[in-house]
Amino acid sequence: MTLQELYLVLLIGGTVLLASIAAARTANRLGLPSLLLFLTVGVIVGEDVLGLEFDDAQLAQSLGTAGLAVILVEGGLTTQWTDVRRLLAPAGVLATAGVAISVAVTAAGAHLLLGMEWHLALLLGAIVSSTDAAAVFAVLRALPLPQKVTGLLEAESGFNDAPTIILVLVFSTAAADLPDPAHIAGNVLYQLAVGAALGLLIGRIGVAALRHIALPATGLYPLATVAFGIIAFAAGGAANASGIIAAYLSGLVLGNSKLPHRAATRSFAEGAGWLAQIGLFVMLGLLVTPRELPSAVLPAIGVGLVLLLAARPVSVLACLLPFRTPWREQAFISWAGLRGAVPIVLATFPIVAGVDGARDLLNIVFVLVVIFTLIQGPSLPAAARWLGLTRPGALRDVQVETAPLDVLDADLLTAAVPPGSRLHGVAIFELRLPPPVVVTLIIRDGTSIVPRHDTVLRAGDELLLITTPDTRDAAERRLRAIGRRGKLARWLGEQGDVEPADRTGTA
Range with top average pLDDT, 66-75, 103-112, 469-478:
103-112
- Give the confidence band of 403 by pLDDT, cuts at 50, 70, 90: very low
What are the residues facing 412 on neighbouring strands? 466
Backbone φ, ψ for residue 356 (5° rounding): -60, 135
- Give the confidence band of 313 by pLDDT, cuts at 50, 70, 90: very high
145 compared with 205, residue with greater pLDDT: 205
Assess contact for 258 and 221: CB atoms under 8 A.
Answer: no
Write the pLDDT tens digit of every residue in 209-233: 888 887 787 788 888 999 999 999 9
DSSP letter (8 states) at residue 465:
E
Kindly tell me if the per-residue pLDDT of 501 is higher than 60: no
pLDDT mean across residues, the chain = 81
Q: What average pLDDT does range 294-301 have in this prediction?
A: 90
- Give the confidence band of 199 by pLDDT, cuts at 50, 70, 90: very high
The β-bridge relationship of strands 396-397 and 438-444 is unpaired
Range with top average pLDDT, 48-52, 98-102, 264-268:
98-102
Predicted local confidence at residue 47, as pLDDT: 66
143 compared with 310, residue with greater pLDDT: 310
Kindly tell me if the per-residue pLDDT of 163 is higher than 90: no
Predicted local confidence at residue 358, as pLDDT: 84
Predicted local confidence at residue 213, as pLDDT: 80
Structural domains of the chain, ranges and CATH numbers in brackets: 3-386 (1.20.1530.20), 396-503 (3.30.70.1450)
- Give the confidence band of 500 by pLDDT, cuts at 50, 70, 90: very low
Predicted local confidence at residue 392, as pLDDT: 57
409 compared with 353, residue with greater pLDDT: 353
DSSP letter (8 states) at residue 31:
T
Assess contact for 126 and 328: CB atoms under 8 A.
Answer: no
Q: What average pLDDT does range 379-383 have in this prediction?
A: 83
Backbone φ, ψ for residue 165 (5° rounding): -60, -40
Write the pLDDT tens digit of every residue in 35-71: 667 777 777 877 667 767 777 778 888 888 888 888 8
Assess contact for 33 and 139: CB atoms under 8 A.
Answer: yes
Predicted local confidence at residue 177, as pLDDT: 56
Whole-number Å distance between alpha carbons of 344 and 60: 10
CA distances from residue 393 to 449, 493, 496 in whole angstroms, order as listed:
19, 21, 13
- For residue 126, the surrounding DSSP H or E stretch is helix 118-128
Whole-number Å distance between alpha carbons of 202 and 356: 40
- The closest alpha carbon to 432, from 484, 474, 494, belongs to 474
Q: What average pLDDT does range 370-376 have in this prediction?
A: 83
